[in-house]
Amino acid sequence: MSILVLSAALFAVGLYGVLVRRDIVGVLAAIEVMMAGPLILLVSVAASVARDGGAEAAGLVQALGLVVLVVAAAEAAVGLALLVSVARTSRTSRVDELTEVRG
């Protein structure tokens, strides 16, 4: 039960960070914290299932956790690439100062 509370707390802290931060780097960091919550939950579920004797199901949950980890890494890479591109064109990295989307 405490792992569920920890996972929900991490997700809530990340959501608060996304809503409050004005800098793109801070928003990306908050999204990473949001994705850490479900990842911790998946790892704890896999350990619980493996302890109860469901090795095959535990392997599937671990694979799902690995997918979440890969998606988080890809999100960070794409987000940082977008940050570099936006910072070059608009000379700012603050979300509230970005008003136009130009191609």
Q: Is position 52 within any domain? A: yes
Q: How far is 1 from 41, CA to CA, in rounded Å?
A: 10
pLDDT mean over 53-80: 82
Q: Is position 62 within any domain? A: yes
pLDDT mean over 79-91: 78
E strand spans, the chain: none
Helix/strand/coil for 73: helix
Give the domain CATH number at 55: 1.10.287.3510
pLDDT tens column, 17-64: 999 988 888 888 898 899 888 888 888 888 887 777 777 777 787 788
Give yes or no for residue 2 having a pLDDT over 80: yes
Q: Is position 43 within any domain? A: yes
Return the biggest CA–CA distance within the chain: 56
Q: For residue 71, what are the domain limits?
A: 2-95
